[in-house]
Amino acid sequence: RMQTPVVLIHRSIEGVNAPVIRLSSEAVGEKAGQMLIDAGHRRVGYMTNHRFDIAEGYALGLSRALHAAGGELPEAFQLWGEHGRMTAEQQDRALTEQGWQLDALLSQEDRPTAIVTSFHPVAEMAYLVATARGLRVPGDLSIVTVSPQDVEGPLARRITAVTMDETAVAEQ
């Protein structure tokens, strides 16, 4: 309407005709995986409240990094949300259901020692579930999330974030 030039970063918007600069979600997943491997983790889980192409890329990159180090990302350690667009209420409901699934996963003797999440609110929920179970984060469980910017807030020192500098990508 206003004829303002627009370039989208990371993902397209339905109904908006504009160029998109895509970040490599697989590379981000690999970076998270390598950080965890370097820290000594071998049993790593993945969690997202919304199944979409970027989240699938994170999981693929994570799996690739674990495989290169002689490990794997077992299906039992992956918690996936629903496909397609969701309202805020649907996302909250999916996150609550995943909290129960994560609690069951963390109750196992051979549980993951680290969880990678696709979104900061998912990481915060994972933190709450883990600490309610009596796990120390970090310590007993490491949580790594993907975030478009530095993570701030009361849980920020407990959760590691792989951040993406979208401004730097756009300037390239």
- Sole residue written with tokens 């969701």: 86
Q: What is the pLDDT of residue 6?
A: 63
Q: What is the mean pLDDT of residues 128-144?
A: 90
The model carries a pTM of: 0.77
50 sits in which H/E element: strand 50-51
User: How far is CA 166 from each of CA 23, 24, 172, rounded to the nearest angstrom?
Assistant: 8, 12, 10
Structure-token pair, residue 133: 């179970």
Q: Which of 77, 83, 6, 10 is closest to 45 using CA atoms? A: 77
pLDDT recorded at residue 115: 93
Cα–Cα distance for residue pair 65/1, rounded to 1 Å: 45
pLDDT tens-place string over residues 147-168 = 655 656 666 666 665 555 544 5
As a residue count, the chain comes to 172
Confidence (pLDDT) at 171: 54
Helix then strand count (H, E) for the chain reads: 5, 9
Distance CA 162, CA 32 (A): 6
